[in-house]
Chain A
Amino acid sequence: MPVPYTKLVIEHFKNPHNVGEIEDADVKVTEGSPACGDMLTLYLKVDPETHVITDVKFRSYGCASNIATGSIITDMVKGKTVDEAMKITWKDAAEALGGLPPVKVHCSVLAADALHSAVEIYMEKTGLVKEKQPTTIEKVFQKLSHVINPETGIDIVKSNLIKNISIKDGIIKIDLNIEPDSQFAENIKEEIIERLEFLWDVKEIQVNFMK
């Protein structure tokens, strides 16, 4: 069948691994929402002594790339320590799938984010991390490195699309090197807001397009 996906993506999409729930999970985390078109719930079971992930399950509301990434990333983390799991990126997952079409790369980010959030929560719960830090420009850049330009499949930080970022009184202002009438402007704006709105000290996010 001539579809724009690799064989491996199709296999994982048709028969995803690790689907379901863990009743006594240590962490359950949901990323995305049905409104944005992709949503993924991840369950982790971690060995309290070794911090090794002993079981992982997921459920996905999403397109083929989202389902396939959920499937492969859960395969990848099983048996890893939480520290090792934290280092697995969406890029690793996409590569493990034999690549994704650029316009679909953003769908794979969600599964990686769910994994990182789950590990973060686990670390907070078990006292492996310190208390809340205020949001810095570096932190915003790090978050925005997960926002993918659908045209190229490369994140907006790496592709130099960020002109300026400022933070003042809980308001983050982001100027982008993207024409306001670019077909992906709305999508990129939505993704940026989704990445940042959950930061504890952020009240408002302003995204400006300019060229």
Chain B
Amino acid sequence: MRVYLDNATSTKVDDKVLEAMIPFFREYYALPSSQFAHSYGIEVNDRINEAREFIATKLGASSPEEIVFTSGGTEANNFVIKGIAYANIERGKHIIVSSIEHLSIIESARKLQKEGFEVTYLPVDSEGLVDLSILEKSIRDDTVLVSIQVGNHETGTIQNLNAIGNIVKGKGVLFHTDAAIAWPYINLAPSNYGIDLMTISPHKFHGPKGIGILYIKRGTKITKFIDGGFNEFNLRAGSENTPGIIGARKAIETFSEDDVKKIKRLKELLMENIRKDIPDVELNGSEDNALPHILNYTFKYVEGEAISLRLDFEGIAVTTGSACYSRNLQASYILLAMGKTHEESHGSIRFSFSRFNTEEEILYTASKLKEIVEDLRRLSPLGKE
């Protein structure tokens, strides 16, 4: 049996999404920006406009012009952090991000620091929640942007966006949220939370890779990041990824609340089985405030890469926060920021679900996991009193 439980990294493209995209390779291959040149361009432009309007409505945006397409979540986050900092330089050179943001936020902020900007990295508690009083104290007169994610991609912890939005907007500062992993599992409209900018990543919910959606509230000052032509309201140059845009639209249309219910049940099923069958485990994140599709456990006395590789031999795909797995050989900075020890991080495994997973797959995973953890613990010098 093959079981894909790495949906927080990327998901299977839905057949309906793929079908919707195909005509944009075969027939509607012109660019929407050619609308003033020929009818090929007009035909595509009409369809891209429809997709943009559909997404704007879904997000409760006040106009389709608040929706900008990028090459993905990483580009959208780079665009926000750097574009807002550069455009608002006369207001100040200070931005605030949480210490558990996606690397596309953290590394963009680090680059700004090298250019003379100041960055505050907000600490989080043991569940991964940003401390609101520290956030409030960190906002200064020269702060131009606060960027705090909706939910975390490793642990699933959901931030208290309502309170964060109130604090940030109360101080008159721009508020960006990276919803790449959370939306539409958490279906939120940016305007309800005082959000000025929001990143969406369709390949996380059965859309194609290579397309990102950035919500930019009308009137927000942001510096163009990719230079070239006048595409995307002159905010993002480059030929429009028309199949990607149509695929993103379809992925949003085909996502339903029933998916969320199903995924929640699968997650609970795996949690029940782990609790019942495997001793010495620790949940990383929050039990109550968590994304429905992400589950992260530390299995004590064993190393995560060994678990993930053994699971892979059984056809089960997961990821680990272990240093041995990461490209820079460092333990997960997210778990460390939550006060977890290196050891806890090395033994962590993330399971992430989608609507294509089944109960049978979860039960199979639970039983293999039990065997593998027991086996590796027999081998380990740790945990033997």
Q: Is the CB of B324 within 8 A of A61?
A: no
Chain A nearest CB from B202 CB (Å) reads 27
In the bound complex, residues from chain B placing their C-beta under 8 Å from that of A107 are 324
Q: Is residue B127 within 8 Å, beta carbon to beta carbon, of the partner chain?
A: no
Residues facing A in B335-349 (CB within 8 A) are: 341-343, 346
In the bound complex, residues from chain A placing their C-beta under 8 Å from that of B325 are 63
Q: Is residue B312 within 8 Å, beta carbon to beta carbon, of the partner chain?
A: yes
Known contacts A3-B309, A59-B380, A61-B302; is-contact A37 B342 (Cβ 8 Å): yes
Q: Is the CB of A37 within 8 A of B328?
A: no
Known contacts A60-B380, A62-B303, A63-B306; is-contact A1 B329 (Cβ 8 Å): no
Contact stretch, chosen from A74-82, A133-141, A180-188 = A180-188
Q: Report the Cα distance A34→B382, complex, angstroms.
A: 8
Main secondary structure of the interface of A (DSSP, over half): mixed
Chain A nearest CB from B108 CB (Å) reads 14
Q: Is the CB of B329 within 8 A of A61?
A: no
Residues facing B in A37-62 (CB within 8 A) are: 37-41, 59-62
Q: Report the Cα distance A150→B309, complex, angstroms.
A: 20
Q: Is residue B69 within 8 Å, beta carbon to beta carbon, of the partner chain?
A: no
Q: Is the CB of B312 within 8 A of A1?
A: yes
Q: Is residue B313 within 8 Å, beta carbon to beta carbon, of the partner chain?
A: yes
Q: Is residue A13 within 8 Å, beta carbon to beta carbon, of the partner chain?
A: yes
The listed residue with most A CB atoms (<10 A of its CB), out of B302, B313, B325, B346, is B346
B302 nearest in chain A by CB position? A61
Q: How many chain-B residues does the 8 Å CB contact rule pick out?
A: 27
Q: Report the Cα distance A40→B309, complex, angstroms.
A: 19
Q: Is the CB of A35 within 8 A of B382?
A: no
Q: Is residue B301 within 8 Å, beta carbon to beta carbon, of the partner chain?
A: yes
Contact of A41 among B306, B313, B342, B381 (CB under 8 A): B381
Residues facing B in A1-54 (CB within 8 A) are: 1, 3, 10, 13-14, 16, 19, 30, 34-41
Q: Is the CB of A30 within 8 A of B381?
A: yes
Q: Is residue B379 within 8 Å, beta carbon to beta carbon, of the partner chain?
A: yes
Q: Report the Cα distance A61→B346, complex, angstroms.
A: 10
Q: Report the Cα distance A36→B159, complex, angstroms.
A: 30
Q: Is the CB of A40 within 8 A of B381?
A: yes
In the bound complex, residues from chain B placing their C-beta under 8 Å from that of A19 are 378-379
Q: Is residue A192 within 8 Å, beta carbon to beta carbon, of the partner chain?
A: no
In the bound complex, residues from chain A placing their C-beta under 8 Å from that of B302 are 61
Contact of B330 among A39, A41, A106, A186 (CB under 8 A): A186
